[in-house]
Structure 1
Amino acid sequence: MHPKVIFFDLGGVVCRFHRERRLAALGEACGVTPEQVESELYASGLISRWDLGLDSSSEIHRTIQKELGFPGNIRALQEIWCRAFDPDPEVLMLVDSVRPLRTALLTDNDPLLLDALPDLLPQVASRFDALLFSCRLGSTKPEPTVFTQAVDIMSAAPGEAVFIDDRADNVAAARELGIAAIHFRDASALGADLAALLPR
């Protein structure tokens, strides 16, 4: 195939995602347990709401101040938020290797992370032509609208796109729309998959 754009998932592909780091750091800052943080943010559905873009970064900050007693400013919260992400240097090298094809992040994440990424994880944000977050798209994977909006934004057709994700249901959803999708296992396997897929 001759793709125009390659979409990479963030947590689980470009970065290893460690939710426990965020929970521990936020719990320490607020004087509560990580389990309390998880209950207030994840079990309550707030994270899902924020991933859909239903609150701004400042609104997220105010909610965490109110619900957990977070004492810091929004920058301090962004720093804690980003601790969950550990960039994978081997995957980042693969992102560089597919140039001159266009690349984009396609991730289910919130405005707090989107606003923070260029400053706090510049080695990730600078690698991509577009940062396509569910909070901007208004829906999360594996909803078909996520993929159709993403290819439209990148001025491509489904058959001109490649999508990489660590979740099988997201990969299946992309394939149903005619997007060539790769189920991520590790950087080495991804390198082989990309080499087999892209023209030499």
Structure 2
Amino acid sequence: MTEIRAIVSDFGGVLTSPLIGSFARISEDWDLPLEALGRAMQTVTERSGAHPLFELECGRITEAAFLEGLADALRDELGRDVPMHEFPDRFWAQLETNHELLEVLVALRDADYRMALLTNNVREWEPRWRSMIPVDEIFEVVVDSAFVGMRKPDPRIYELTIEQIGVPAEQCLFIDDMDVNITAARELGMAAVHFRETPQAIAEIHALLGRPAAA
């Protein structure tokens, strides 16, 4: 078994509470079916020729443009206005730091594993997510899709992260909550843990590293 020397972690949904919880709360508060949001996203895609979330997370459109496009599509879909300008504050208000997993990553950093953060994110949201965890104390490499112009599962963003961390893919352990992102990492030769819940992820991390469960 190849020795793991580096940990590459996602942020949202791994180092935070599940993202779907935030979406569900907003959906309930606004009486906004998630299916309607999905259809509105598709409408914007058809109008612009590009998926708006992908464009946002690659830094090619602004948060304001993204929200405005969705608001227009939702107005057409629902026949009423949805206050999408409130979405970022409401979304982030629901997220909590996953302190239990964060403690595991701190312990791995202290055990001399190389540490990288690889996140699909939004340029304007950087102050929000950085305020939730001590990013620079834990991670020596941070790769944010919005600043590098590509997003998971594009192999190039994994390759960039691997290059910056200076460890071969086969010696990297990747942690993410999205199956498609896990698949891409494994295709590049990385070991991977598909985060579903914290105890499961911690147990799998320890198993892959050959470390005691209480480490």
Pairwise TM-score range, normalised by the shorter structure: 0.7 to 0.9
Aligned length: 190
Are 2:7 and 2:174, in contact at CA under 8 Å, matched by a contact in 1? yes
Structure 2: segments with no counterpart, 5+ residues: 45-50, 72-81
Q: Deviation at 1:192?
A: 2.0
Render the CA deviation track for 1:9-33: whole Å, top value 9, x for unaligned. 22222212335646866998xxx76
The DSSP-based 3-state class of the residue aligned with 1:82 is helix
Amino acid at match of 1:61: A
Identity within the alignment, %? 23
Which residue is 1:136 aligned to?
147
Are 1:158 and 1:179, in contact at CA under 8 Å, matched by a contact in 2? yes
Q: Distance in 2 between matches of 1:168 and 1:39?
A: 19
Question: Structure 1 residues 126, 65: closer, same or farther in 2, change over 3 A?
Answer: farther
Whether 1:92 aligns to 2:102 is yes
Structure 1: segments with no counterpart, 5+ residues: none
Q: Distance in 1 between matches of 2:160 and 2:144?
A: 11
Q: Distance in 1 between matches of 2:136 and 2:24?
A: 23
Q: Distance in 2 between matches of 1:41 and 1:6?
A: 36
Which residue is 2:63 aligned to?
60
Of residues 156, 159, 164, the one that matches 1:145 is 156
Q: Distance in 2 between matches of 1:182 and 1:66?
A: 35
Q: Distance in 1 between matches of 2:28 and 2:38?
A: 11
Which residue is 2:123 aligned to?
111
Are 2:57 and 2:151, in contact at CA under 8 Å, matched by a contact in 1? yes
Which residue is 1:14 aligned to?
15
The two structures, once aligned, show a CA RMSD in angstroms of 3.4
The DSSP-based 3-state class of the residue aligned with 1:153 is helix
Q: Deviation at 1:63?
A: 5.6
Which residue is 2:57 aligned to?
51
- Normalised by the length of structure 1, the TM-score is 0.74
- Normalised by the length of structure 2, the TM-score is 0.69
Which residue is 1:177 aligned to?
188
The DSSP-based 3-state class of the residue aligned with 2:189 is coil
Render the CA deviation track for 1:141-194: whole Å, top value 9, x for unaligned. 222112111101212211221101122222222111111111223222222222
- Greater C-alpha Rg: 2
Amino acid at match of 2:189: G
Question: Structure 1 residues 18, 179: closer, same or farther in 2, change over 3 A?
Answer: closer
Amino acid at match of 2:209: L
Render the CA deviation track for 1:97-148: whole Å, top value 9, x for unaligned. 21221222212221122243223x2456754333322222322222211211
